[in-house]
């Protein structure tokens, strides 16, 4: 009986771990995207990301001798996920092409607050004030990390906020699709990348720019990171509710600071460490276990 009761707890632990790791992969992906936007148009970079993500997922499925099923691709929810993912990428990439990554993430991270507030209504999930408090704590940590000044009030930063809302809805859509346990996580991630690539192809052709071998290699690594991050995200959503995963999105800030320093030699202000403590604290608050009778079953 105890072993049965522990299964949902283990599923939650695995799901949260997948989410945290996926956020670090996403941070690496964003850093590579910023590098590419220095020399390539944003619309082209967005297409390269989604295209190579789809390519690597298709390759992985082929190695397993599996073909994405029609119902995993041709349905309204998957199309909506692809559109949301494309818009989130365009809005965020446009912002980081002009501003530093941690600063853009501070506004992008308003998206998880949207999840915490709307998931009980859109996904029929139980509302937990503790999760909303954890999301607010994590957002407060990001504010301390980037120490916003008057520059943050510029209208040019607003696309990151809109991108965060698109990503939040995308995450809830991923949770909805992932509830179908007959679908592979790779299929779920493949579908979003495929639709986003189809949507972005005309603009990529319009903004096409020549690329050397180095840029192509960076784009390939960016696509591989995106594919890996999305598969882990889908796996996490199969195990844990969207609102409970939301606070762990803030852990991306740690990777964003690291990669920004390594690739661009930039560091946030002195409030960084206190901000990180708050971000981690928000994650710990969200991870507090409910009593076994209150833990959601594996779906």
Give the model confidence (pLDDT) of 250-293 as tens digits. Answer: 788 788 888 888 888 776 656 656 776 777 677 667 655 443 33
Is residue 156 over pLDDT 70? no
Is residue 237 over pLDDT 80? no
Name the residue among 11, 274, 280, 3 with its Cα closest to residue 147.
Answer: 274
What pLDDT is attached to residue 155?
Answer: 55
Give the model confidence (pLDDT) of 14-42 as tens digits. Answer: 888 888 898 899 899 999 999 999 999 99
What pLDDT is attached to residue 114?
Answer: 67
Give the model confidence (pLDDT) of 176-221 as tens digits. Answer: 887 777 777 778 778 888 999 999 999 999 999 999 999 999 999 9
What would the 3-class secondary structure string for the chain be? CHHHHHHHHHHHHHHHHHHHHHHHHHHHHHHHHHHHHCCCCHHHHHHHHHHHHHHHHHHHHHHCCCCCCHHHHCCHHHHHHHHHHHHHHHHHHHHHCCCCHHHHHHHHCHHHHHHHHHHHHHCCCCCCHHHHHHHHHHHHHHHHHHCCCHHHHCHHHHHHHHHHHHHHHHHHHHHHHHCCCCCCHHHHHHHHHHHHHHHHHHHHHHCCCCCCHHHHHHHHHHHHHHHHHHHHHHHHHHHCCHHHHHHHHHHHHHHHHHHHHHHHCCCCCCCHHHHHHHHHHHHHHHHCCCCHHHCCCCC
What pLDDT is attached to residue 153?
Answer: 46
Distance between CA atoms of 8 and 210, rounded to whole angstroms?
50
pTM of the predicted structure, to 2 decimals: 0.75
What pLDDT is attached to residue 291?
Answer: 39
What pLDDT is attached to residue 44?
Answer: 95
Give the model confidence (pLDDT) of 85-119 as tens digits. Answer: 899 999 999 988 887 787 777 777 766 666 666 66
What pLDDT is attached to residue 271?
Answer: 62
**Across residues 236-258, what is the average pLDDT?**
78
Is residue 4 over pLDDT 50? no
Is residue 7 over pLDDT 90? no
């Amino acid at each position: 009986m105890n072993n049965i009761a522990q299964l949902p707890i283990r599923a939650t632990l695995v799901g949260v771990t997948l989410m945290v790791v996926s956020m670090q992969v996403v941070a690496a992906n964003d850093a590579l995207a910023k590098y590419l936007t220095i020399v390539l148009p944003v619309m082209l970079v967005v297409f390269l990301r989604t295209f190579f993500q789809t390519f690597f997922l298709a390759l992985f499925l082929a190695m397993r001798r599996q073909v994405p099923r029609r119902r995993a691709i041709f349905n309204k929810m998957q199309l909506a996920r692809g559109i949301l993912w494309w818009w989130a990428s365009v809005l965020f990439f446009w912002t980081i092409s002009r501003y530093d990554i941690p600063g853009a993430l501070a506004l992008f991270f308003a998206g998880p607050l949207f999840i915490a507030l709307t998931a009980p209504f859109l996904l029929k999930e139980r509302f937990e004030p503790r999760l909303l408090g954890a999301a607010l704590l994590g957002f407060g940590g990001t504010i301390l990390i980037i120490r916003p000044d008057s520059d943050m009030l510029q209208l040019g930063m607003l696309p990151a906020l809109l991108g965060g809302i698109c990503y939040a809805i995308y995450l809830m859509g991923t949770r909805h699709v992932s509830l179908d346990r007959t679908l592979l996580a790779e299929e779920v991630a493949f579908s979003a990348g495929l639709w986003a690539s189809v949507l972005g192809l005309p603009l990529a052709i319009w903004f096409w720019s020549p690329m050397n071998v180095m840029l192509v290699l960076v784009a390939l690594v960016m696509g591989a990171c995106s594919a890996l991050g999305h598969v882990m995200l889908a796996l996490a959503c199969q195990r844990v509710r969207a609102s409970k995963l939301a606070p762990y999105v803030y852990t991306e800030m740690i990777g964003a600071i690291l990669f920004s320093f390594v690739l661009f030699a930039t560091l946030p202000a002195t409030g960084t460490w206190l901000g990180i403590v708050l971000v981690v604290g928000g994650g710990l608050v969200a991870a507090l276990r409910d009593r076994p009778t209150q833990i959601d079953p594996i779906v």
